[in-house]
Structure 1
């Protein structure tokens, strides 16, 4: 079966170089890596599909007037 994958350029270059160093085709290398990944034990924790956003507890809500709600001011607050 044929399919298309969107592989980031740096990763693609790395795969292509690895295949060349091993004297293999890109197709054979990717198939081998996928097969090894599928056959490996599931000891690694699953990757969350929707991670929670980080939050910071300030103890109390911040009292901000509308004048402080510009992008520049909010960015400065986030940097503090």
Structure 2
């Protein structure tokens, strides 16, 4: 079966050089990589990401508290 791959030029150059250094064709090298990927261990799932801790500033707010509503914030963004 034939297929088409779109690879960025730098990646293709690395792949081609790698194949040449091993005296393989691109077809042989890609087939080997695909088989290794399918026969290898499945990737382990990453643990869930923890929520980021945001910086906190103490002191008075630079804008009045009543402007912290959605409509108040949108009014601050309008030119």
Q: TM-score, normalised by structure 1?
A: 0.59
Q: Highest Rg: 1 or 2? A: 2
Distance of aligned partners of 1:22 and 1:61 in 2 relative to their CA distance in 1, 3 Å threshold: farther
Q: Deviations over 1:4-63 (max 9, x none)?
A: 1111111100100000000100110000001000111114338xxxxxxxxxx79x6672
Question: Equivalences for 1:34-49 in 2 at 5 Å?
Answer: 34-45=34-45
Q: TM-score, normalised by structure 2?
A: 0.60
Partners of 2:33 and 2:45 in 1: how far apart?
A: 19
Question: Equivalences for 1:1-80 in 2 at 5 Å?
Answer: 1-45=1-45, 63=73, 64-67=76-79
Equivalent in the alignment of 2:61: none
Secondary structure of 1:7's aligned partner? coil
Partners of 1:22 and 1:65 in 2: how far apart?
A: 59
**Which is bigger in relative contact order (C-alpha 8 A, separation at least 6)?**
1
